[in-house]
Amino acid sequence: MRILTISASPYLLTKLGRLHSDVILNFYKQHTLYSAVWDHDLKWFSPDEQGHYFYEKNGEKICQLLPYISQNPQISSPQLYEIFQKVKPELVISIGDYNEVDAIFAIKTLNSTKFKWVHVLTLNAGPIKDTFNDVFNYIDYVVHTNKKSKKMVSKLSPVANSFSYVGIDESVFFYKNNINNEKLNIISCAKNSQASGIGSILSSSQFLNKDFNLYLHTNLYDTGDYDLNLLKNRYDANEIVRFPENFVGLNDGTPDNELNDLYNDSDVFIDVSVRSATAIALIESMAAGCIPVVAPIGALKEIVDLLPEDCRFFVDGNLYIGSLEEEYYIVSPEHLSKIIQKIYNIKKHNKGKFLEMKNNIVSVVKTLKRKDFLKKIEEAIDFVKKENSVIVESF
C-alpha cells in the first residue's frame, strides 16, 4: 500500500517527532512510504544530489521526507496538495492535535473516497473547539493517546476509534535498581517553552536547600521562550539546578541509553506542563524507577492515576483558558517544592518504603508498551482497508 505519513519531522526530539519516527520505522518495510513533514530544519539536514530529503536510521535511507510549512493554512494547503499529487497516497497516517490537520481536511473534502485517513490524535487539552467538529466526519479512524481525547471525540462524531497510551520500549528504558546518594535527585525533561512549565520548576528551586539536586534536561542550545540562565540566577539561591553539559537541542541530543542512565540516577521526575497529550517522557522516566510529580492534567494525570495512591503526587495550581479556548493548568512553584520535600523525607527516614514505591511504579508502567500503541495503528489500517468505500489509487 502507498502510505503518506504526515506530522512533525521524525528527526525532532519532541513527542510528535518521536512518535512519527516510530510509525515510519514500523511500517516502511511492508509498504511504500513517504512522509510529509513540518518543522524540518533545512539548515540542519542536507538534501541529496537530487535535492531530496530522507529519513535515515543507522545509515539506511528509510523514506523520503517532503517538507512543508504547516503554520499558515494559505501556504500549507497548496503545498500539501502538491505532495498528494506527487505521492498519490492510498492511505494517510497523520499524527497531531485536532487543529493540526486543517490542510488534510481541506484535501479530503475534495473527494472523500480518494484516500483513507487514519489520524493519531494527540489531544493536548480540551474542550475541542466547535469550529473543528466537522474534521472528524472526514477521518476514517482515530487512534487516541489519552482517554479524555476518546471521550470528547465520541460525543462529537461516530468515527471509528480506539485508544492506547504511547507506552515504552522496555529494551531502551528500564530500571537498574540503583541506590543513589542521600540527596534527593530530581530530573525534568522539559522543552524551553512556557507550555512545558519549566519556568515554574526553576522558580520552585528557591524553596529548596542543598539536600536536593535538580537537573533540567532541556534544549539549552536552541532559541526558546526563556533565558534559562537568567531564571537560574534569579531563583537558584542554593545552586542546586544543573543544565546539560553536552549538546541538547530539538534536532540532536542525548542518546536513549544515556537518557535511561540519567533517569536511573534520579529519584523524582517532574512534569508540570500546562497541557499533556502523551506523557512520553513521564512514562520513560517511570520505567527507570522515577517517582512522578506532575500537574493534574491530560495524559499526565491519567498515567499517574494508574499508580498506587501513595505514589501519586499532583501539584496544586489553577486552570486558565489558553489558545483555542482550551483549558490549561499552571502549577504553584511553592506547592511543587513542598511535594519534593515530602518525598525527600520518605527517602531519608523510610528507605524501605521509598524503594517499594519505585518498584511499584516500575511494575505499573511495564504494562504500557510502545508495541501495543503501534498495534492499534496496524488495526486501524486493517479496519479502513475493509471499509466499503473504495481506495482510489490515482489522485
- Among residues 82, 45, 123, the alpha carbon closest in space to that of 395 is found at 82
- The reported pLDDT for the residue numbered 311 is 98
Q: Would you call 43 exposed, middle or buried from its count of C-beta atoms within 10 A (0-12, 13-18, 19+)?
A: exposed
Stated pTM of the model: 0.94
> E strands, the chain, where?
2-8, 32-38, 53-57, 60-67, 91-96, 116-121, 141-144, 160-163, 184-189, 212-217, 241-242, 268-271, 291-294, 317-321, 327-331
- Assign domain 2-165+370-385 to a CATH class: alpha beta
CA 329 to centroid of chain Cα atoms: 17
Cross-strand pairs, 57: 60
What cell does 219 get?
534544549
The CATH 3.40.50.11930 domain(s) of the chain lie at: 2-165+370-385
Contact 393, 83 (CB under 8 A): no
Looking at the structure, give the CATH architecture of the domain made up of residues 184-365.
3-Layer(aba) Sandwich (3.40)
* Residue pLDDT tens, the chain, 395 long: 999 999 999 999 999 999 999 999 999 999 999 999 999 998 888 898 888 999 999 889 999 999 999 877 778 889 999 999 999 999 999 999 999 998 999 999 988 778 999 999 999 999 999 999 999 999 999 999 999 999 999 999 999 999 999 999 999 999 998 767 789 999 999 999 999 999 999 999 999 999 999 999 999 988 899 999 999 999 999 999 999 998 899 988 899 999 999 999 999 999 999 999 999 999 999 999 999 999 999 999 999 999 999 999 999 999 999 988 999 999 999 999 999 999 999 999 999 999 999 999 999 999 999 999 999 999 999 999 987 554 444 34
- The reported pLDDT for the residue numbered 55 is 96
- The reported pLDDT for the residue numbered 213 is 97
- The reported pLDDT for the residue numbered 75 is 84
- The reported pLDDT for the residue numbered 70 is 87
Q: Which amino acid is at 63?
A: C
Question: What φ, ψ does residue 231 adopt, rounded to 5°?
Answer: -65, -40
- The reported pLDDT for the residue numbered 392 is 40
Q: At what angle do helices 15-27 and 280-287 cross, to 10 degrees?
A: 80
The C-alpha atoms of residue 316 and residue 334 are separated, in whole angstroms, by 9
What cell does 393 get?
489509487
- Coil, helix or strand at residue 281: helix
Phi-psi region of 32 (alpha: psi -120 to 50; beta: other; left: phi over 0): beta
The CATH 3.40.50.2000 domain(s) of the chain lie at: 184-365
What cell does 153 get?
471525540
- The reported pLDDT for the residue numbered 76 is 87
